[in-house]
Structure 1
């Protein structure tokens, strides 16, 4: 029985680790997670926020994910989008998912990322 998603993996080109660290840690605010030594020898980086990990593995014939993407939940999505834009990262808003505000962006190697926040409010007293 599946109980949770442990991580999502995206690909990256050889030699891109410093750009990935600058983006995922410096821009998105994630924490880098040390890779086990046997896996670290392959290159790439692992990042985490809360209980969610995002792994970036090195591919020699790398092509960025343009449609496939992780969906990252955020709070105060307007401020989060402004944070990215202030750091030179383009955001593209999309209004097609009912009950959510969301935008898309790309990491420094061109992988697509989705950022979303639920706008469905639970019923309050008398609701």
Structure 2
């Protein structure tokens, strides 16, 4: 029986680790975690926030997926979106009944969705 997602793997081009680290730690606020030595030799990097784990693996000939993406639950989505924008990330709000959500791309073009249950406040 499946009980949880262990991690989500995203791809990235060779040599992008420093840009990924800057984004996932400095912009998103995640912590980098150590890769096992046998896997570290392949490049890439791993990040974690609470129980959410994202692994960025290096892929020759990388092209970011146009639709595939992780959906990341957040709290305080308005403040979180403002944090990302203040750190240079572009945020695109989108409608989803029963949720507030936006999309953002990492520095290599991976699509990331951020959502929080609840309705978007009406002006």
Same fold flag (TM > 0.5): yes
TM-score (norm 2): 0.94
2:117 is the counterpart of 1:118: yes
The residue matched to 1:84 in structure 2 has which SS? helix
Instruction: Kindly name which structure, 1 or 2, has the bigger radius of gyration based on alpha carbons.
Output: 1
The residue matched to 1:25 in structure 2 has which SS? helix
The residue matched to 2:20 in structure 1 has which SS? helix
Looking at structure 1, the residues matched to 65 and 32 of structure 2 have their Cα atoms a distance apart, in angstroms, of: 21
Structure 1 unaligned spans of 5+: 121-127
Instruction: Kindly report the root-mean-square deviation, in angstroms, between the aligned alpha carbons of the 2 structures.
Output: 0.8
Looking at structure 1, the residues matched to 79 and 9 of structure 2 have their Cα atoms a distance apart, in angstroms, of: 26
2:99 maps to what in 1?
100
> What's the CA shift for 1:51?
1.2
In the TM superposition, what whole-angstrom CA distance separates every residue of 1:53-104 from its partner, at most 9, and x where no partner exists? Answer: 1000000110012210001111111111111111111010001x11100000
The residue matched to 1:39 in structure 2 has which SS? helix
Q: How do 1:1-127 residues align onto structure 2 when only pairs under 5 Å count?
A: 1-95=1-95, 97-119=96-118
Looking at structure 2, the residues matched to 81 and 52 of structure 1 have their Cα atoms a distance apart, in angstroms, of: 18
TM-score (norm 1): 0.91
Equivalent pair of 1:106/1:113 in contact (CA under 8 Å): yes
